[in-house]
Amino acid sequence: MTAALEIRNVHKSFGPREVLRGVDLTVPAGGVVAILGPSGSGKSTLLRTINHLERPDLGYVAVRGELIGVEVRGARLHELPLRAVRRQRTRIGFVAQSFNLFPNLTAQENVAEPLVAHRRLARPAARERAVELLARVGLGDRGDAYPRQLSGGQQQRVAIARALALEPDLLLFDEPTSALDPELVGEVLSVIRQLAATGTTLVIVTHEIGFAREVADTVAFIDGGVIVEQGPPSQVLDNPQQTRTREFLSKVL
């Protein structure tokens, strides 16, 4: 069976700075991976290469066996035209640290936008679907609010509903709770927890070690642009084999 997500030997440099230096990661369908690592270790860059917001210099990303952002031509990988990349991105949901809701649209319109754009739904139908999606994150009654009228936790939940709108094969979270006040973290985590329980494939960059332990079936520790150690939480978090992992965990726990 093909993996939901396969990352092979992904390298990425920004000028002279080598941020990813050969990352390998496989996530089976329904798998939940938590990516941990110190700041500047390449976690976010790795996540952004998955939906091709960053083009890998070397290596590839594949979702359900389909290469993302590139195609094989001869012996080389060629970057796909933007239109094709956009089509692929509809299969990969992305939730950013700072929500990035469109402030000029209401919560409902934010969620409906990808439906209108890609599913060619008429606006009323898209709105109806948007309300259903918002209900799934507990915001069925806030559809008419503009993002600035919502709390951070609510905004992040709208962003999750928006990412879910196109029923993606894979959902990416880039530190989804880092921009939130501590008392709002719980509501977002519980939505992610529900998604994990319903078999959605998730890749979560996070600093919430406790949450990673609880919800992830694989924890990957990344440092210096490579995955230093990966395995079930009980192994990586409680019995790390690498000194770098141990050092990091001793700092954050």
Enumerate binding residues for another protein (CB under 8 A).
Answer: 51, 53, 82-83, 85-90, 94, 96, 98, 100-106, 113-114, 117-118, 146-149, 162
Cβ 195 vs Cβ 215: under 8 Å? no
- Cβ contacts of residue 178 below 8 Å, gap of 6+? 97, 207
- Looking at the Cβ atoms of 164 and 228, the one nearer to another protein is 164
- Looking at the Cβ atoms of 62 and 95, the one nearer to another protein is 95
- Shortest Å, Cβ 111 to another protein: 11
* Separation of alpha carbons 17 and 12, rounded Å: 9
- Shortest Å, Cβ 44 to another protein: 12
- Shortest Å, Cβ 49 to another protein: 13
- Looking at the Cβ atoms of 82 and 197, the one nearer to another protein is 82
- Looking at the Cβ atoms of 94 and 221, the one nearer to another protein is 94
Cα Rg, the chain, nearest whole Å:
18
- Shortest Å, Cβ 90 to another protein: 5
b/e per residue 172-210 (b: at least 16 CB within 10 A)? bbbbbbeebeeebbebbbebbeebbeeebbbbbbbebbe
